[in-house]
A and B are shown apart, each in its own frame.
Chain A
């Protein structure tokens, strides 16, 4: 019994989500391997070898894998699956895109967004936007699981000494081709691993007004997030969306500004350690989950917050 983890990376660096997934894997079994699929991704493989608790790193490094297309990666995983009792990936868009394909090819179920390991066959996962928590037991020979990273601490990125093993076999589908990517560039911390997040909602009124949040975020070293309404209105790009169908975050501090607190939004952020809400409507449901609520017009409160931090 060993656990295989699909590494989350962009060919240059290993993403922190992988570290949380390693912790989940170690809760299952002590023999944890990491698979790195990419192109020119040696730096990622090296980083994976250094993760404390990882004993082996499989590396499929080929131009074909540059964009980690699910058609190819899923078949590659199935080729090495024989040795493993569990196959894990972080519940990122890459993990969610790939692992269900792996499960179907192996004719087993896939468990999504696991937040706790009860036993090697028993797992906890939120359903109904986090309004119910299911404990499920799987008798499948191979358990294929995506891991919600907020449920697990990050394993140490140092101290490991895994052996690395190349995977030479190349799988290339001619049915899917990468065309282009628009990746948002930001100097701020990544939303899903930030310890402080300042999020804006429809109440921000416009994209220009989102600049108000920058001052606060700068002072706190925070990432910027948003509600779906703010994304839909075109104030900010989609990769900032927090919620049931966006990103799940669990920072030490989450400041919700001009966000009403719909269940779909709460689903993505209610595990934050401390929640602050600034909203001019004292009845807004966000106040039911906020540790500190300030009923105020954000256009007064946010500039004042910036200067008093």
Chain B
């Protein structure tokens, strides 16, 4: 079984996000960037499947400008075998990314495609579902457990009401939720080894995919600030305020 994992380079989840003064975008200059946390979980899951002898190869792919090679190297250090950068401008919309990923998945004849459920920058939560639709593959999104058995994946999904388990035939698309696993840290020797693992670069044109979007961003603004309120000295004062000032408790 060959696994394709897609990883995205995003602002580090600990960074305090600032909107540019001209309200066109979020300011990314000199900001720490990292692998999207859900993608780390995707890489970890694939590497574990390989370690269990269930996968023969783990290929990681990222769509973006040259800097996403850093993210691919991180994935290689975590145990992926080979990397592909689809060289394109950062910030393509999900449909374009999905078309590129679907094409790579076809070229690679991947049996399992693992993506994060959501990028923490765009908060889209859609690319995996789109890849599945484009390839007419089944999908198991928001996975908290993946069991591979005789050509099928049994996946437990985190849904609003609780947990749901699906059985999907391979090839399939899985997107990861936070509790699927706890990603390892890359060891220094593995970081060194990763430098020598193959990293190929391709382009949307080589993949025969037209990228573009009918969606334009008109503005990006800072949210309305919530003004911190008051500190109360006791439970009695709190209850009094809730009843008589905020009037949310009767």
Contact = CB atoms under 8 A, between A and B. Distances in A.
Contacts of B223: 126, 130-133
Contacts of B214: 108-109, 138-140
Contact of A305 (B94, B161, B164, B238): B238
A196 B235 CA distance: 18
B218 A107 contact: no
Interface in A217-250: 220, 228, 231-232, 237-239, 244-245, 247
Contacts, number: 255
B129 A100 contact: yes
B13 A264 contact: yes
B123 A180 contact: no
Contacts of B222: 131-133
A82 to B, nearest CB: 18
A172 to B, nearest CB: 12
A228 B229 contact: no
Interface in A5-29: 10
B208 to A, nearest CB: 15
A128 interface: yes
In this complex, the interface size class of chain B, counting residues with CB under 8 Å from chain A, is: 35 or more
A83 to B, nearest CB: 20
B168 A175 contact: yes
Contacts of A122: 218
Interface stretch (A50-58, A67-75, A201-209): A67-75
Interface string A278-309: 00001000011111111110000100110011
Interface stretch (B66-74, B80-88, B152-160, B186-194): B152-160
A103 B126 contact: yes
Interface string B103-128: 00000000000000110111111111
A118 B169 CA distance: 42
Interface string A87-125: 000001110111111111101111111000000001000
Contact of A232 (B132, B179, B229): B179
Interface in B191-250: 213-223, 226, 228-232, 234-236, 238-239, 241-242, 246, 248-249
B26 interface: yes
A178 B238 contact: no
A237 B162 CA distance: 8
Nearest to A308: B239
A294 B249 CA distance: 17
B165 interface: yes
A173 interface: yes
B229 A135 contact: no
B7 to A, nearest CB: 17
B62 interface: no
Contacts of B183: none
Nearest to A234: B179
Contacts of A188: none
A304 B231 CA distance: 17
Nearest to A134: B220
Contacts of B178: 228, 232, 245
B65 interface: no
Contact of B160 (A74, A94, A140, A308): A94
B162 A135 contact: no
B226 to A, nearest CB: 5
Contacts of A94: 159-160
B130 A101 contact: yes
B154 A179 contact: yes
A112 B123 contact: yes
Given A100-B130, A132-B19, A184 B120 contact: no
A107 B214 CA distance: 11
B34 interface: no
A293 B234 CA distance: 10
Interface stretch (A31-39, A40-48, A155-163, A268-276): A268-276
Contacts of B166: 69, 176-179
8 contacts: A104-B134, A109-B215, A110-B95, A122-B218, A134-B220, A177-B168, A292-B238, A308-B235
Interface of B: 11, 13, 16-17, 19, 26, 38, 93-95, 98, 117-118, 120-134, 137-142, 144, 154, 157-169, 172, 177-179, 213-223, 226, 228-232, 234-236, 238-239, 241-242, 246, 248-249
Given A71-B138, A180-B164, A239-B161, 5 more contacts: A133-B221, A135-B219, A176-B169, A253-B246, A292-B241
